[in-house]
Amino acid sequence: MAKSVELRRHTAADGDLLTPEGVRDALDIGSSLAGGYDVAISSGAQRATQTLACFLAGAGAKVDGGVVVDTRFRSDVEDRWKAAYKSAGAGDIASFLRVDPDLVEKESVLLGRALKECFDGLPEGGRALVVGHSPMQEVAVYGLTSEVIEPLSKGAGVVVTEADGGYGLGST
């Protein structure tokens, strides 16, 4: 039976707090989520944790393993990512690879490992919801699967599944 991890970007924020629109959007998105997660994970940023709480509230979700903070889904070099974005003029992995391949390669190892360990902690058939940031979610997917995905818009997500020892991508 397959395991799955749904990675989502936080909704609209002002600094590290969701805007009223971000709260409404997260609640709306949450109402469309299936729920039944074994664990819900925030990157630890307030805007990610607040989005996660609103997703779960909107879904009326029960989370067997609770809500945890895993700062490995954040980058310790945010300023370098911002500089790479400014230099590239775009926020997709291919553009980051063009202007700072070392950044992407090092971060993809760290974030890909965090995503793999999330899968390792799930029971057979288990599901996790991870709320964090762009491009960290995309880099985690790249690090685990070598797949390049488009930048996630606010509140959007991607599902990664593990079955028969391999990983695949789905949509949310």
Domain count, the chain: 1
Domain that holds residue 62: 3-171
Q: Distance between CA atoms of 104 and 30, rounded to whole angstroms?
A: 30
CATH number of residue 89's parent domain: 3.40.50.1240
pLDDT in tens, 54-90: 999 999 988 888 889 999 999 999 999 999 999 999 9
Strand partners, 39: 128
Residue (of 97, 96, 43, 45) closest to 71 by Cα position: 43
**Could you read off the pLDDT of 133-151 as tens digits, one per residue?**
999 999 999 999 999 999 9
Strands, E assignment, 10-123 = 13-14, 17-18, 39-42, 67-69
